Structure 1
Amino acid sequence: MNRFLILFLLIGISANAQFNEKGNLYYEETIKAEAKTQLQIKEKLHEWLLAEFDPSNIKASKNTEVEMIADISSKIEIKQGNASIPMDIYFGILSSFKDNEFSIQLSHIDIGPTQTPVKINFPDFDAFKDEMQETVNRLSGDAKAKNQAILDDEEKIKSIYNRGLQNHDDMLASVKEYIAGLVERLKTYIK
């Protein structure tokens, strides 16, 4: 019985979703919500936002009959090696409504205390070394000398690069998993 109910719900809510391939991470999807009016969809989305996030972490910047924009802050567990680290995540949700469907876009996805944009690609090794050299050039004294020595040691800098690449891949996978789960919970709520 439950399988038929789940199948029925999945048929009632169909979607076309995607993450982008380059640049800063974003997600967009058009979700079919059969037999739901524009107003019903908007009301359910509003209810879901309040159920999913602490109201103090939601900042609505636009709320019209056909569109809603909200800035969200939340927490996410990011895998780093064998550990999971809690981090802040920030993103905007843009929703537009019409009868029987709505579109949702999650963009301006930033992470951590400095609200760093989540990028799809990690720089190649040479670009990474160039960025590190720019950072070292801004230092002075012992800090500059120590960091320049690390940068000049090919084995050490490759190890740092490989660790950074793995951490980036783990972070990106964690953020994508978080967003996919968020959207799935939204679809279930809207049903």
Structure 2
Amino acid sequence: MSDGPDFKKLESRMDGALDALKNEFGGLRSGRASVNLLEPVTVNAYGSDMPINQVGTVTVSDARTLAVNVWDKGLVGAVEKGIRDSGLGLNPVTDGQTVRVPLPPMTEERRKDLAKMSGKYAETAKVAIRNVRRDGMDEIKGDDSIPEDDKKRLSDRVQKLTDEKIKRAEEMQSAKEEEIMQV
């Protein structure tokens, strides 16, 4: 007799969707400086494109300024160019081996766009969580060795886990939207 799906595995997959959502939210600019903002930036260094965190240390110097301490003085110009060409709308300033990145204040329209984008990210995470639920339910329905009463109990347990994770995704989205809309 089988005891249904591996709930630890299902929960782990659902948590993976929430982790991905958290990562996506990290890249959304909220007007506050965050080292995650420069994560997508690549720098042409030593003949290939490298992530910015492999050529220098990204730090937050104050609420509206990031600083990139470039390890190789010869790459300062490449780091500045990489940030400028990243499409993030940032204008870096070189200060010796440090590239300072002031974050301009965001417009109301841009804030609304970012809030909308956070909603899309959250919806993608919720779909991923529901897909994990579907896999768990299919496993329960497909196992003929489980009595009907147990199938119902296991299905309810999978649904309860799904509801918890979706609620968590909605809480994360609401917190991110609140952060974005703060002036």
Q: What TM-score range do you get, normalising by the shorter chain?
A: 0.3 to 0.5
> TM-score, structure 1 length as denominator?
0.31
The answer to which structure has the higher helix fraction is: 2
Larger CA Rg, structure 1 vs 2: 2
> TM-score, structure 2 length as denominator?
0.32
The answer to which structure has the higher strand fraction is: 1
Q: Which one scores higher on RCO, CA 8 angstroms, separation ≥ 6?
A: 2
